[in-house]
Each structure stands twice: as structure tokens, then as C-alpha cells.
């Protein structure tokens, strides 16, 4: 991934199943995705699937579009997702879902995707801006590399909220 133009992927699609499928297909064909490690590909797959599915199912956004972007630099994949649905902070929701992890019997079926994203990323952010939900996360290629120095200071153009796991 030496070419700078290969280090970014952006896509906008209608917030429905077909839109998700087209975004997924475009992402998988992109030079950025093709050059990612297995762990970072998984992070991109997971974030797109979980966030867009959540918007489609519960976002009440009337078929408006979502925006999804990936940016890779120095071993860190930064993911940014924007929808125009009802206000929803996935990280706050994921924290609530973590309470249920005590036994197989008690483990609930739903809400697992947000927990998975939270566990995978090294920093994350959410902001409600101009009627949109802006969700950001950063995933390190090698989780052992996560230090204060390697954490990105700003996750997005605006007010990312770096939050150490």
C-alpha cells in the first residue's frame, strides 16, 4: 500500500439492503481493502455490516443514504460511518450490552455486533452533527502496537472522541 491513492475508500449508498450490498461489493474490490491484513479486513467487514444493518433495521431514516469510508495509515485503519437516522450512539449501547456476558444461559442473542466492534477497535468516537450520526473507530493492525503514541489524536475531521479501551 505505497500509493497514497490506495489508502482511502469512500462510498455513499441508500440505507437499504441493496445499498449495503453495493457498498460491500465496492469495498471488496477497492485497492485499499485488497491490501489490508486479515485483521483489518475483518474490522472493515464488521463495521460496515453492523452499522449499516443497524441503520436499516432501526434507524427510521426513510431510505436516505449512508456514507462509509476507510483510511489506512501507519498500521491503523480508520473507519467513518455517517447515517441520517434517529440519534444513536453505538458505543453507549454496546456498554449496556456488555452487562449480559455471564453465562451461556444468560447470554442474549441480540446486540452482539456492537460489542464485537467495541472489542476490536482501539479508539472510537460518536457525534450527532447536523441531523446525522457520525461514528468513527480506529483499528490497529497489530493490537500489541497500541500505545498512547500510536493512538490517533483526531479520528475524523471534526470532533472525534478518542477513547482508550
For residues 57-75, one letter each, b for 16 or more C-beta atoms within 10 angstroms of the residue's C-beta and e for the rest, the string is eebebeeebbbbbbbbeee
Would you tell me which residues interact with another protein (CB under 8 A)? 17, 20-21, 24, 38-39, 41-42, 45-46, 49-50, 53, 101-105, 107, 109-110, 112-113, 115-116, 119-120
The sheet that has 8-14: what strands, in order across it?
8-14, 65-73, 76-83, 132-140, 123-129
We find the least distance from the C-beta atom of residue 157 to another protein, in angstroms, to be 28
Q: Which helix (H) or strand (E) holds 54?
A: helix 38-58
Q: Cell triple for residue 119?
A: 472489542
In the bound state with another protein, the residue whose beta carbon lies nearer, of 8 and 39, is 39
We find the least distance from the C-beta atom of residue 113 to another protein, in angstroms, to be 3
In the bound state with another protein, the residue whose beta carbon lies nearer, of 120 and 146, is 120
In the bound state with another protein, the residue whose beta carbon lies nearer, of 55 and 133, is 55
We find the least distance from the C-beta atom of residue 83 to another protein, in angstroms, to be 15
DSSP code for 34:
H
Amino acid at each position: 500500500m505505497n500509493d497514497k491513492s490506495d489508502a482511502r475508500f469512500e462510498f455513499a449508498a441508500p440505507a437499504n439492503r441493496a445499498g449495503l450490498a453495493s457498498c460491500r461489493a465496492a469495498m471488496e474490490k477497492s485497492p485499499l481493502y485488497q491490501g489490508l491484513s486479515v485483521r483489518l479486513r475483518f474490522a472493515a467487514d464488521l463495521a460496515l455490516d453492523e452499522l449499516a444493518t443497524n441503520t436499516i433495521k432501526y434507524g427510521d431514516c426513510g431510505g436516505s443514504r449512508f456514507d462509509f469510508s476507510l483510511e489506512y495509515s501507519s498500521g491503523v485503519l480508520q473507519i467513518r460511518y455517517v447515517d441520517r437516522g434517529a440519534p444513536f450512539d453505538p458505543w453507549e449501547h454496546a456498554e449496556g450490552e456488555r452487562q449480559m456476558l455471564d453465562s451461556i444461559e444468560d447470554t442474549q442473542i441480540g446486540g452482539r455486533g456492537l460489542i464485537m466492534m467495541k472489542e476490536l477497535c482501539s479508539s472510537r468516537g460518536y457525534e450527532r452533527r447536523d441531523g446525522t450520526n457520525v461514528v468513527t473507530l480506529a483499528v490497529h493492525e497489530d493490537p500489541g502496537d497500541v500505545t498512547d503514541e500510536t493512538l490517533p489524536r483526531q479520528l475524523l475531521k471534526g470532533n472525534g472522541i478518542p477513547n482508550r479501551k
